[in-house]
Structure 1
Amino acid sequence: MLRRFTLATLLLLPMTVLHSQKAPDAALLDKARALHKQVPLIDGHNDYPWALRENAARDLDKLDITKPQPTIMTDIARLRAGGVGGQFWSVYVPADLAGQAAVTAALEQIDIVHRMMRKYPETLELALTADDVERVFKKKKIASLIGMEGGHAIDNSLGALRMFHRLGARYMTITHSKNVPWADSATDQPTVGGLSPFGEQVVREMNWLGMLVDLSHVSPDTMEDAIRVSAAPVVFSHSSSRALNDVPRNVPDNILQMLPKNGGVVMVTFVPGFLSPKVAAHSAAQTAEQNRLKQQYPSDENAVKAAGEAWLKANPAPRATIADAADHIDHIRKVAGIDHIGLGGDFDGITSVPEGLE
């Protein structure tokens, strides 16, 4: 049973993060690069498969990451420059898909990841275990793992969950932006108060399979229930600290304090609105203005668009910075401990990145 959980253990490896608004000390930068060659830096969340679906109809030739891809955030050159040793490719399914439509979309996204392995065998190799990650890393390739984003993709079926595992999925985010019948999301109205009894079954089944229980996107009650039920370390594949930025998608301190006993990891994300309170406040104000304009011009989309652009010109968006990301890492280190920090960029799942993380 313990071998099933070795993938989670690998994610506990400490990571060195440099942050400064001044030029980094050359010796420290050399040390960080040397560490990247010794230890696989694992990114917990990349949405290239969804970018391929949205921008290229799932055609790898149309968005070939062996070439520079300025219209998206991911290509092999940037993965290499960032020192990525392991990548969880997100199998994202929108929360408004349900039932068999969600299952089919998840299967199609997993198919993309498998086709990526065939198209880029000199760079990417599928990893199903922690041993696989280490083996692939030693071959100087990027160990590629599959992470399902959204428990609605299993359509309330443990059998579907088991089959997704057999196809290579090694974590599943319990919810996305909306509740599932058996678990509450962070960005929806609570209905079951965390995990339902079936939700607890899902967590136990994931433990038995060796799938990481991903608690990004879930409500604090769901986080607490899942950590209580799980016999294995949990993971937050792309979340940051709620104490530093009070948005629902971040992790409260009382949950961080549970991680040393559980062994879990918060993979700090680079979503600007999760890192910076200024960015979050601006996004909230922009959403409120957009809603106001829709009420003012209920049947005139052009007027809404023009007025929205004028508002944005008068109220330019602030930017999160690499220092903000480092502050979240430091806070989680203080509360949970250095063994419970990872990185989950969410590249290609966001529209902009913090300054310094381009």
Structure 2
Amino acid sequence: MLILDAHCDTITTIMKSGEGLQKNNCHIDLTRLKEFDSYVQFFAAFISPEHARMGALRRTLDIIDKLYQEININKNDIMLCRNYMDITNAITNGKIAAVLTIEGGEALEGSLPSLRMLYELGVRGITLTWNYRNQLADGVLDGISGGGLTPFGREVVGEMNRLRMLVDVSHLSEVGFWDVINLSKSPVIASHSNSKKLCSHARNLTDRQLLALKQIGGVTGLNLYPLFLTDSGKANIKDAVSHIEYIVSLTGEDTLGLGSDFDGIDCAPDGLEGVQFYPVLLNELLKLNYSEALVKKIAGDNFLRVIKEVL
């Protein structure tokens, strides 16, 4: 069964810790990923607020350079993938398929040429905002202002469509979300977001938003942060399964995937403390009489479909 995780912050985490990608104390490393037959991991270059205010593009390049270094060191185990065919080739050759993304449009520093050059470096998806306002749009924690996409943000979405990049609406204000839905000519993803019906955190998506992603052919990635799974902030595997059951029942079997947020979260649900526990989560679905075909869609095939269409 192919597993695809649409969001992790492992590269920035190992930059802080001084560890490597092959084996570390993080949620994800290659040693554990190699236990799976087929694995696709989105690696995000996260632009934190301190870097967003100054030197965002340089920080982005530093993170991309770190990923490139790790891929070069571990080239027998992992491959940078720029499109669907690359992913197929990586899996055929027994390698982890790495997809490079950016979390935070601050990385562009207000420049479409920067977007195009980051594309040339292999970036294939951008989470337009983190939690706060940038040159593209308001973030979800600035939602009170009622701001959506800026004129530059609209240009970015259009250019990402032209370049065939994944537009990611996780962290985006609700007004910005609807701007993207109405503007994008390609399927849109929410790489790491959950159901607001089950957990009221501002980062989660309403039923209407989840249905809109379905209508545009997009996919939502299940986030494993306990604060996004339950209002109590304490969670286990059953809480993750509850979000899966709710979203699938609402929007159908083609709309949900995995987007753990591993190594970007300070804690994980009990029983899901790292990538090695994904089989436990998927087996829980099989125990609930989910068909193997549906579990495969959630595990990776739904996101892979969008990749095939967009990239």
For the aligned pair, the TM-score class normalised by the smaller chain equals 0.7 to 0.9
Partner of residue 48, structure 1: 10
Q: Write the distance in 2 (CA, Å) between the matches of 1:102 and 1:357.
A: 32
| Corresponding letter in the other structure for 1:193 | G
How far did 1:92 drift? 0.6
Q: Write the distance in 1 (CA, Å) between the matches of 2:139 and 2:52.
A: 15
How far did 1:181 drift? 3.1
Partner of residue 306, structure 2: none
Q: Write the distance in 2 (CA, Å) between the matches of 1:181 and 1:46.
A: 23
Match of 2:20 among 61, 64, 78: 64
User: 5 Å matches for 1:165-244?
Assistant: 165-191=119-145, 193-244=147-198
How far did 1:41 drift? 1.5
| Corresponding letter in the other structure for 2:238 | A
How far did 1:331 drift? 1.3
Equivalent residue pairs, number: 273
Rate the CA distance shift 1:96–1:182 in 2: closer, same or farther, 3 A: same
How far did 1:84 drift? 5.8
CA RMSD across the alignment? 1.6
How far did 1:187 drift? 1.1
How far did 1:77 drift? 2.6
Q: Write the distance in 2 (CA, Å) between the matches of 1:127 and 1:239.
A: 24
Identity %: 36
Bigger radius of gyration among the two: 1
Is the contact between residue 95 and residue 150 of structure 1 (CA under 8 Å) also seen in structure 2? Answer: no
Match of 1:143 among 93, 97, 107: 97
For structure 1, list consecutive stretches of 5 or more residues without a partner in the other structure.
1-35, 57-62, 280-318
Is the contact between residue 177 and residue 217 of structure 1 (CA under 8 Å) also seen in structure 2? Answer: yes
User: 5 Å matches for 1:280-291?
Assistant: none
**SS of the residue aligned with 2:263?**
coil
Kindly provide the CA deviation profile for residues 286-322 of structure 1, in whole angstroms up to 9, marking residues without a partner as x.
Answer: xxxxxxxxxxxxxxxxxxxxxxxxxxxxxxxxx3111
Partner of residue 216, structure 2: 262
Match of 2:201 among 247, 268, 271: 247
For structure 2, list consecutive stretches of 5 or more residues without a partner in the other structure.
274-311
How far did 1:98 drift? 3.5
| TM-score normalised by structure 2 residue count | 0.84
Q: Write the distance in 1 (CA, Å) between the matches of 2:29 and 2:127.
A: 24
Q: Write the distance in 1 (CA, Å) between the matches of 2:188 and 2:270.
A: 30
Match of 2:239 among 313, 317, 324: 324
Q: Write the distance in 1 (CA, Å) between the matches of 2:38 and 2:196.
A: 26
Kindly provide the CA deviation profile for residues 167-191 of structure 1, in whole angstroms up to 9, marking residues without a partner as x.
Answer: 1111001001211133111012554
How far did 1:100 drift? 5.5
Kindly provide the CA deviation profile for residues 149-198 of structure 1, in whole angstroms up to 9, marking residues without a partner as x.
Answer: 00011011111111111111110010012111331110125546211222
1:129 and 2:44 correspond = no
| Corresponding letter in the other structure for 2:191 | S
Q: Write the distance in 2 (CA, Å) between the matches of 1:185 and 1:323.
A: 29
Is the contact between residue 8 and residue 260 of structure 2 (CA under 8 Å) also seen in structure 1? Answer: yes
Rate the CA distance shift 1:80–1:173 in 2: closer, same or farther, 3 A: same
The range that moved more, 190-199 or 247-256, is: 190-199
Is the contact between residue 128 and residue 136 of structure 2 (CA under 8 Å) also seen in structure 1? Answer: no
| Corresponding letter in the other structure for 2:239 | D
Is the contact between residue 105 and residue 135 of structure 2 (CA under 8 Å) also seen in structure 1? Answer: no
